[in-house]
Structure 1
Amino acid sequence: MGIQLFTPTFHIEECLKEIEKCLEKGWTGIGFKTFEFEEAWKAYTGLCNAHFLNSATAGLHLAVKIFKMLEGWQEGDEIISTPLTFVSTNHAIAYEKLKVVFADVDEYLCLDPKSVESHITSRTKAIMFVGLGGSTGQYEGMVKLCKKYHLKLILDAAHMAGTKLNGEIPGKEADAVVYSFQAVKNLPTADSGMICFKEKEADTLCRKLSWLGIDKDTYMRDQGNYKWHYEVEYLGYKYHGNSIMAAIGLVQLKYLEEDNTYRRLLAKWYDEELAKCIGIQKISIPQQCLSSQHLYMLLVPERDALLQVLNKREIYPGVHYRDNTEYSLYAYAKGSCPKAKYYSDHLISLPLHLRLTKEDIKGICEEVKRHMEALKGVEDHV
């Protein structure tokens, strides 16, 4: 199989024991373990609300929809976002017929506050901030801008499970924080996510919208004797999580800090091996940020050529991400974010997961260095 970009590691026996509890109880859907995981997540993060969902994409959509409902946003109103992200970040805005306004990124690959501020208009309602790779970037600058212009702040923390800023889990300042527990994330399940609203009113509405607009979930209605009667207040979605995924999440959460520590060690080994490699640039992380280290990213010349070389050696890196304005759906903003475009054309994410060893890292870096030396030799010859 070679060396994959991502390979999740599960604590299999413990996960199976937690799943077995669901099967023994006869409850695998919403409730039971989903409630337990929500409480565990609040205790871990210090966030005041947490609702378990079937994906982070669902969480991002619900965040936008709920603020639109509560704040009276209109179709055509704007949310400022990044072009350097997985498309679900920006789809969540477009789902609600709001306009995605793309601002450029900084050296951390996160939104640049100066670029964001230059895009704020009377129609701007929120900022969607993505902690790419687990970095906090200039998150504190986003918090200040949202306070200054009275905007909502949505933190797309899909890569940030375990990230700390100044020693604390970031997000208490945001109006909504959305985490991903998709299969290859730092806290992996098969697929799921968590949305953490600052205000209880938004959390309460979210619990209804994630269960088709129904005012009582089946687990609560089943306690004692089954109560069939319920109200449907809203046109909602089937976005809630289930107890099987939550059971896995509860186990994986126990090891999140330990796992992230090893990820940072892998990154350190990459740093040491590539320290003297001419022609590459590591993406920096703010000093006050202890990153979850979901990704290890470099800027390299002729990125696609390096990808091909590594693939031939059965090493399979990735790219995070293609500039979203290059997609036809968001082509109205094409060329508006030159830094994001440059990064998108030169970024490579090297394999980073818990099954890698120091020898694996050394081998990957030897191939990178060999390619860069050959590239330099060609340039010198020319």
Structure 2
Amino acid sequence: MLAKYGGTPVRTKAWVPTFISSEEFDEKEKEYLLNVLQKKRVFRFYSKGLDDSESVKLEKLYGERTNSRYALAVNAGTSALVSALVGAGIGPGDEVIVPGYTFIATAAAVLIARAVPVIVEIDDTLTMDPAAFEAAITPHTKAVIPVHMRGIPCQMDEIMRIARKYHLLVIEDVAQANGGSYKGTALGGIGDAGCFSFQQYKVVTSGEGGMMVTNNPSIHARASIYHDCAMRFWGVDNPGSVDSFPGENYRMSEIQAALGLAQSSRIDEVINKLRKAKRSIVEALRSIEGIQLQRVPDPEGDVSYKLAFYLPDNETASTFSELLVAEGIPNGTIHNNGFADRHIYANWDYILAKRGASGTDTPWTCSSYKGNVHYSKDMCPETLKLLGRAISISLHQNMTEEDCWDAVEAIRKVAGHM
């Protein structure tokens, strides 16, 4: 009998911890942070010890991981996206294609760069639908931002082929897939630029923080200038072929960098554990009738901290979710904000309303923009349909065989009664 109707639940213990990153905090983080304090040098560009900067070390690590010539440490994942867009020359009059399922920062970064986001459908990978991407291209399109959502790599072969066909720039949003790969290539190192986040919900954290990587010297030089309005004054080596222009202050502190370094040193170990746990669950679920597993473009590159599957319709998914919770397995759906509102385009109020920081001058109304993009809450029906019938379960690197088995048994039990 199902637990909701008086039966014994499959699991009575708490489910996995909320965070992957901070659960790993140990003596290494303390050592790296204390080293910064002992040096009494928390500002990256302080003239003494530039070569010993923790930010430089973190940039080198991500450059090597993604096989990128250049890396730029910044204070947030959003800052990385904005810096990459400005670095790529994206600005007023341009359109940038983004998926309808991603953290709102992806689209907000486009607006901050003074360009216009064009929102397109996802498919059963819960990442950008390549066909929808191609269909949305206009003469104003300059770039696309594929988002490797919840650790799942996008269909990068198709996206890159389309982008190259139309001479578009590709800026990968790797905020939710640090450490993932696609057909053997690290995510972030496939497109023209890659952007990472080190916020606490991510696989690697420095509290806040981000990283942009690229093999394009112009993108790196312009992004460096934009990330720091005083970049030319710090005495660092920055390509002189790019004229200076006004920027922001997106600098990463040495404290953030030290924490990010300690965390990043164990990323492969953590992801290997996640992959092992997800693989065992997925294999067991393949034989269960009534559920459809999320399609993963490259299972070997999946970061594997989320398990997602589909039910036939919204109502079935909502009921299945409630029964699964009663069996001791918390899960997320569009019905319980488990697919968080801030990640679904229909809830991006200021974007749908074309409301900018200025009431009189926005990326949509500036004289440079000749397009006419339209938004509505129902503009991506397939995205809403997929999310409406999807269920997501959080996984963790410290999961035991018992934990994995509990998840499988609870799903099997509920599916058997639906």
Task: Flag whether TM exceeds 0.5 (same fold).
Answer: yes
Aligned partner of residue 195 in structure 2, secondary structure: strand
Aligned residues: 360
Aligned partner of residue 261 in structure 2, secondary structure: helix
The offset of 1:6, in angstroms, is: 2.9
Deviations 1:220-276 (A, max 9, x none): 69xxxxxxxxxx954322212122222122222222112111111111122134233
Report the residue type matching 1:22 in the other structure.
Answer: V
CA pair 357-27 structure 1, distance change in 2 beyond 3 A: same
- What corresponds to 2:409 in structure 1? 366
The offset of 1:53, in angstroms, is: 1.4
Equivalent residue runs for 1:193-208 within 5 Å:
193-208=210-225
CA pair 121-263 structure 1, distance change in 2 beyond 3 A: same
* Larger displacement relative to structure 2 (190-199 or 326-335): 326-335
- What corresponds to 1:178 in structure 2? 195
Report the residue type matching 1:316 in the other structure.
Answer: P
- What corresponds to 2:142 in structure 1? 125
**Quick check: 1:253 aligned with 2:270?**
no
The offset of 1:78, in angstroms, is: 1.2
- What corresponds to 2:335 in structure 1? none
Q: Quick one: which of 232, 249, 252 aligns to 1:215?
A: 232
Check conservation: 2:160, 2:170, Cα contact below 8 A: yes
Q: TM-score, normalised by structure 1?
A: 0.85
- What corresponds to 1:23 in structure 2? 37
CA pair 198-365 structure 1, distance change in 2 beyond 3 A: same
**Quick check: 1:329 aligned with 2:329?**
no
The offset of 1:194, in angstroms, is: 0.7
Equivalent residue runs for 1:1-382 within 5 Å:
2-4=14-16, 6-8=18-20, 9-30=23-44, 32-67=53-88, 70=89, 73-75=91-93, 77-217=94-234, 234-287=245-298, 289-300=300-311, 301=313, 302-311=316-325, 315-318=329-332, 319-320=338-339, 322=341, 323-331=344-352, 332-374=375-417, 376=418
The offset of 1:4, in angstroms, is: 4.5
Distance 2:218 2:231 in 1: 16
The offset of 1:278, in angstroms, is: 2.6
Check conservation: 2:29, 2:262, Cα contact below 8 A: yes
The offset of 1:92, in angstroms, is: 1.0
The offset of 1:360, in angstroms, is: 1.6
Deviations 1:119-148 (A, max 9, x none): 111111111111123333321111111211
* Larger displacement relative to structure 2 (99-108 or 205-214): 205-214
Q: Which has the higher helix share?
A: 1
- What corresponds to 1:229 in structure 2? none
Deviations 1:311-332 (A, max 9, x none): 5566433334553134433442
Distance 1:336 1:5 in 2: 36
CA pair 132-63 structure 1, distance change in 2 beyond 3 A: same
Distance 2:227 2:326 in 1: 45
Distance 1:23 1:50 in 2: 24
Check conservation: 2:198, 2:204, Cα contact below 8 A: yes
Check conservation: 2:110, 2:117, Cα contact below 8 A: yes
Unpaired runs of at least 5, structure 1: 222-231, 377-382
Deviations 1:11-35 (A, max 9, x none): 4101111111100000123251111
Q: TM-score, normalised by structure 2?
A: 0.78
Distance 1:86 1:96 in 2: 17
CA pair 213-234 structure 1, distance change in 2 beyond 3 A: farther
The offset of 1:184, in angstroms, is: 2.7
Check conservation: 1:135, 1:292, Cα contact below 8 A: yes
Aligned partner of residue 145 in structure 2, secondary structure: strand
Aligned partner of residue 239 in structure 1, secondary structure: coil
* Larger displacement relative to structure 2 (267-276 or 338-347): 267-276
Distance 1:317 1:216 in 2: 50
Check conservation: 2:83, 2:224, Cα contact below 8 A: no
Report the residue type matching 1:58 in the other structure.
Answer: S
RMSD: 2.6
Check conservation: 2:187, 2:194, Cα contact below 8 A: no
Percent of residue pairs bearing the same amino acid type? 22
CA pair 238-256 structure 1, distance change in 2 beyond 3 A: same
